[in-house]
């Protein structure tokens, strides 16, 4: 939803900064991934510090695409690598939150986190499968930027369970939106 509305609105105002970054987009993707994995290992010990790490990792996740687009170094492999690392990042973060909640005796919250992870994976799978059928599929209310923002908010505030309820519902609504969108497109053909 945010990607569709705002797209690459920071490319123009921050393009001059992106052009000066000496690292390739793929290196930035890997750095962001390492920071996010670090966040996953920090979360069970400190939600607040874990949230800060997620925020820093998110900045690198935004920068890699910006550098690729503004410097003309975008590549199919870079997009593929970024997507794979994003899926691993999602897994580490949601499993870490599940671990944190289970360790604090909130097993229902732990299942919410795992259910949200399943929804996040299905969102990505639905898009990839649609693209395999020749359809673009960027529809839905809860894409990765929204999930990352909500994860940052939940870890910084400690409101994990209420935010996980929202994410659980909206990730699976997004999957349904994508299925319906592809069905509608295929039905017209």
DSSP alpha helix (H) spans, the chain: 2-6, 11-20, 25-42, 47-71, 76-103, 107-132, 144-157, 160-188
> How far apart are alpha carbons 188 and 26 in whole angstroms?
38
11 noted as active-site residue = no
The two structure tokens encoding residue 149: 């923002």
Q: Among the options 61, 82, 86, 90, which is catalytic? A: 86
Q: What is the DSSP letter of 23?
A: S
Contacts of 152 by beta carbon, 8 Å cutoff, 6+ apart: 51, 54, 55, 58
Kindly give the confidence (pLDDT) of every residue in the chain, 189 residues in length, as a single tens digit, with 9 standing for 90 and above. 545 454 555 555 566 677 777 788 999 999 999 999 999 999 999 999 999 999 999 989 888 888 888 888 889 999 999 999 999 999 999 999 999 999 999 999 999 999 999 999 999 999 999 999 999 888 999 999 999 999 999 999 999 999 999 999 999 999 999 999 999 999 887
């Amino acid at each position: 939803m945010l990607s569709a509305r705002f797209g690459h609105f920071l490319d123009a105002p921050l393009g001059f900064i992106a052009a000066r970054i000496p690292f390739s987009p793929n290196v930035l993707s890997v750095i962001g991934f390492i920071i996010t994995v670090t966040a996953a290992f920090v979360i069970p010990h400190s939600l607040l510090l874990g949230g800060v790490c997620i925020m820093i990792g998110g900045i690198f996740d935004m920068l890699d695409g910006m550098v690729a687009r503004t410097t003309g170094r975008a590549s199919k492999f870079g997009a593929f690598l970024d997507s794979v690392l994003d899926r691993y990042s999602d897994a580490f973060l949601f499993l870490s939150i599940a671990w944190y909640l289970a360790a604090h005796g909130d097993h229902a919250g732990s299942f919410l986190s795992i259910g949200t992870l399943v929804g996040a994976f299905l969102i990505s799978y639905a898009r990839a499968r649609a693209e395999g059928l020749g359809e673009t599929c960027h529809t839905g209310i809860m894409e990765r930027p929204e999930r990352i923002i909500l994860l940052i908010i939940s870890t910084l505030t400690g409101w994990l369970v209420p935010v996980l309820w929202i994410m659980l519902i909206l990730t699976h609504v997004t999957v349904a939106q994508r299925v319906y969108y592809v069905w509608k497109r295929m039905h017209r053909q």
